Structure 1
């Protein structure tokens, strides 16, 4: 299968691209720069020059592919609404190109939801609709095309997709702890984050491309929910720093932009995903990665 992957040089996308190549697929990766294109080509990936704002470029790559794995997103927290609108437009343009073809369209999403008091499951629909909502409502937009001759699949990733050289949420928390001299958590630290190792997430995407039914949601979740105070304690142990509670009203001043996410309870199961895809996570846990130095920071 010839697969067009946006975000192919990113943290998750590079692992997904490697997984697809290892299973005999041809990968075409979106490249915004000459350096990115050269890095993709060096791995045996065909570079397709363009960006998420270049809708014609996205459409042409989707049209030439047997399937699309859309992992890129503008993580601009200074104007998240604008980033969501860009996402909505990009997703709609690619889906319109695939309509009537029965080709797969896999789209990265998250586990944030309106579900309270229990873990999120694959049966729970996203509450976000429309271009001005979180991530441009792109999950629901994509799944709606199951009725228009596309095989859309929502890839819901845990908030921490961890591993060596991760530069995401856990890496940010590590840097803040070192800068502050304390590994903090918000309130009583009872809020939780689901987690998955990068290698397991990549393998799930490959399996979803080959097996997931149209209109389905799959959860890249190995650990359903780790209390934030335990994440802080693991980081503190590794860094040799004390842990401390941060009052909710001080979360943004202490943690910066990530404070709004670290205080969220994001818990999910992956029972249905494991059953449908035959997926079993085998990678290290988040605490194993932290203890092994995956989040070591330069002096």
Structure 2
């Protein structure tokens, strides 16, 4: 297939591109900067310059491709307080792709998330439907992003082989600058490796290589309207994560009270205390996806999260 990918030079996309090329697919990647364009060209992809706001670029790239994987999201806008604006831009891109692919039965995949779908119990691919109740953390922009996933699934009724791949909050690996890297940085800054409350709350996780493999399997064979979970570790207690970080950094490990969490963890506090394990049993059975990368704790023990420029 010839596959158009947004976010192709990002953390997930830069693993999906070689996964697809290695399986014989051609990749057309969206690049908004010279650096991204150079990285895509070096990986063997064709480059299409533009941004998520260039809807004509998205429309034409989708029209000339056999499938689309939409990974880009305006994280810089979201984390600067504009989550709703970022979600709105995401919806415009999804609607544009839906129009371009309608009636073609071509695959269209987007990335979504598992965090907070079913707090306190193991979430499945059946959770997070439009009729399901959602927590307060899904207000505003997060609610809009969940609605974007629903809109993608609904494209199956318009002749698009649409799929939503839900990623856990931790997609780990060497080079990760996401949640786990942020937790490590906070521990360094505060001089203590902390967790909220008793730290028994769980986060699912997946190695980046396993997530990329699932995107390829979904592109090739996921049924229209699928919701998939890229989950390898069903639920890793946050206290266990803090303990590994403390051991590697030589720092004490301590509980941070919920009242003090915002002061200690800043914006991350609202996410870090959620108990949000997730299963991928249906996904594994549907697509014969078998994660082979290291689990989160084993990956942390490899040491790359703790490297500094001076080491």
How far residue 130 of structure 1 moved from its aligned partner, in angstroms, is 11
Paired residues of 1:84 and 1:136 also in contact (CA < 8 A): no
Q: State the match for 2:128 in structure 1.
A: 125
Unaligned runs of 5+ in 2: none
CA deviations over 1:167-211 (Å, ceiling 9, x no partner): 111011011111111111011112110011111111111111111
TM-score norm. by structure 1 comes to 0.96
Tell me what 1:8 maps to. 8
Aligned residues: 299
Structure 1: segments with no counterpart, 5+ residues: none
Q: What does the per-residue CA deviation read over 1:208-234, in whole Å, with 9 as the maximum and x for residues that have no partner?
A: 111110001111101100111111111
- What is the TM-score when the length of structure 2 is the normalising length? 0.92
Aligned to 1:276: 286
Task: Deviation per CA, 1:55-83: give whole Å up to 9, x if none.
Answer: 11111111111000111111122211111
Pairwise CA RMSD of aligned residues?
Answer: 1.7
SS state of the match for residue 79, structure 1?
A: helix
Alignment map for 1:38-77 (pairs within 5 Å): 38-75=38-75, 76-77=78-79
Q: Does 1:109 align with 2:112?
A: yes
Q: Distance in 2 between matches of 1:99 and 1:131?
A: 29
Partner of 1:149: 159
Output the CA distance in 1 between the equivalents of 2:90 and 2:65: 20
Partners of 2:116 and 2:182 in 1: how far apart? 23
Matched, 1:177 2:187: yes
Contact 1:211 1:277 in 2 (8 A): yes
1:72-91 aligned at under 5 Å gives the runs 72-75=72-75, 76-77=78-79, 78-91=81-94
Contact 2:88–2:144, Cα closer than 8 Å, also in 1: no
1:295 is paired with a residue whose SS is helix
- Alpha-carbon separation, structure 2, partners of 1:157 and 1:114: 12
Q: 1:112 to 1:289 in 2, by over 3 A?
A: closer
2:150 maps to 140
- 2:95 aligns with 92
2:215 is equivalent to residue 205 of structure 1: yes
Q: Secondary structure at the match of 1:61?
A: helix
